[in-house]
């Protein structure tokens, strides 16, 4: 199965019938599907059995999403559109997710568009404007025109490992960026550039280090081989106060 298909499989959950435990272990039955975000809607494929994952009670999650929505920080534009709820009444998803197809008022496309919950939208926008675009200008004397999105919403365990904790991707609270597209048509790929030319290395490290101010979890190729080809960015809460940042 192609990676994107694997990462974007949506999700029909069997009801949890065991004793109440935290974390819970959930068997997910998921149809294999390819999410098409180009106005074509969902294309559903044949059914298959998905991985187990463990779910922890996260009381901050729903209030945080609702507060973001109520704040009006995210306005619908040609590049940020409200989409139908993800996941339905189960452990995955978001109540009012958005489809983000570009950042910085359309200057930087997300390819493909990403399904994200409200708090992720302004953070991606600010990170693009304040970190990635200036880094592209400094290192390459180029405008940034796009981000290669390897994954956004996906109902799955961390690293797609059977039995692991549920991933922030399952809450549309994470994005994986595999490359940075420049105005001359070239792309700085995380896979090749992390140990690539001095400019690529410097650009990607500036972008990585800058990410840590905008996201609470940032994982790079230095973290492990599963992240060799992308930066994972999310807004999970870490630590007792939920304020700790993980930057690796």
Can you give the length of the chain in residues? Answer: 248
Nearest to 6 by CA among 176, 124, 219: 176
Stretch that binds Zn ion, among 74-82, 86-94, 185-193, 224-232 (CB under 5 A): 224-232
Applying CB under 5 A, the site for Zn ion has a residue count of 3
Stretch that binds Zn ion, among 10-18, 52-60, 68-76, 174-182 (CB under 5 A): 174-182
Minimum separation from the CB atom of position 183 to Zn ion (A): 27
Coil, strand, or helix at residue 119? coil
Position 148 contacts Zn ion (CB under 5 A): no
Is residue 27 a contact partner of residue 11, using CB atoms and an 8 Å limit? no
CA atoms within 13 A on the CB side of 165: 9
Minimum separation from the CB atom of position 104 to Zn ion (A): 22
Position 176 contacts Zn ion (CB under 5 A): yes
Minimum separation from the CB atom of position 140 to Zn ion (A): 25
Structure tokens at 162: 């059977």
- Residue among 3 and 183 whose Cβ is closer to Zn ion: 3
- Residue among 225 and 241 whose Cβ is closer to Zn ion: 225
Binding mask 179-218 for Zn ion (x = CB under 5 A): ----------------------------------------
Coil, strand, or helix at residue 116? strand
* Contacts with 226 (C-beta within 8 Å, 6 or more apart), sequence order: 159
Is residue 235 a contact partner of residue 120, using CB atoms and an 8 Å limit? yes
Please report, as residue ranges, which positions from 46 to 105 form the binding site for Zn ion (by CB under 5 A): none
Q: What count of other Cβ atoms lies within 10 Å of the Cβ of residue 25?
A: 12
What separation in angstroms does the CA of 123 have from each of 7, 32, 107, 144, 240?
22, 30, 16, 17, 22
- Residue among 99 and 176 whose Cβ is closer to Zn ion: 176
Residue with tokens 């304040």: 130
Question: What is the DSSP pairing of strand 246-247 with strand 187-189?
Answer: unpaired
Stretch that binds Zn ion, among 3-11, 71-79, 181-189, 228-236 (CB under 5 A): 228-236
Which of 204, 232, 235, 236 binds Zn ion (CB under 5 A)? It is 232
Angle between the 198-211 and 133-140 helix axes, to the nearest 10 degrees?
160
- Residue among 61 and 107 whose Cβ is closer to Zn ion: 61
- Residue among 65 and 176 whose Cβ is closer to Zn ion: 176
Minimum separation from the CB atom of position 246 to Zn ion (A): 12
- Residue among 136 and 227 whose Cβ is closer to Zn ion: 227
Structure tokens at 220: 């790079």
- Residue among 110 and 182 whose Cβ is closer to Zn ion: 110
In the complex, the residues that contact Zn ion under the rule CB under 5 A are 174, 176, 232
């Amino acid at each position: 199965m192609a990676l994107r298909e694997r990462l974007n499989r949506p999700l029909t959950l069997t009801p949890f019938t065991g004793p109440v435990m935290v974390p819970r272990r959930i068997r997910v039955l998921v149809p294999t599907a390819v999410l098409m975000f180009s106005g074509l809607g969902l294309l559903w494929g044949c059914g298959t059995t998905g991985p187990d994952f463990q779910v922890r009670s996260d009381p901050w999650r729903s209030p945080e999403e609702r507060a973001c929505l109520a704040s009006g920080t995210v306005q619908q534009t040609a590049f940020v559109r409200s989409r139908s709820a993800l996941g339905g009444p189960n452990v995955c998803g978001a109540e009012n997710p958005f489809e983000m197809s570009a950042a910085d008022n359309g200057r930087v496309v997300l390819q493909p568009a990403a399904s994200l919950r409200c708090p992720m939208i302004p953070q991606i926008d600010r990170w693009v404007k304040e970190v990635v675009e200036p880094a592209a200008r400094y290192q390459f004397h180029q405008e940034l025109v796009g981000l290669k999105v390897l994954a956004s919403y996906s109902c799955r365990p961390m690293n797609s490992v059977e039995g692991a904790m549920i991933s922030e991707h399952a809450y549309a609270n994470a994005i994986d960026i595999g490359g940075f597209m420049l105005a001359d048509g070239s792309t700085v790929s995380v896979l090749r550039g992390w140990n690539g030319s001095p400019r690529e290395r410097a650009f990607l490290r500036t972008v990585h280090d800058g990410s840590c101010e905008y996201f609470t979890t940032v994982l790079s190729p230095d973290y492990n081989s599963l992240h060799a080809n992308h930066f994972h960015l999310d807004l999970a809460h870490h630590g007792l106060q939920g304020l700790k940042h993980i930057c690796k």
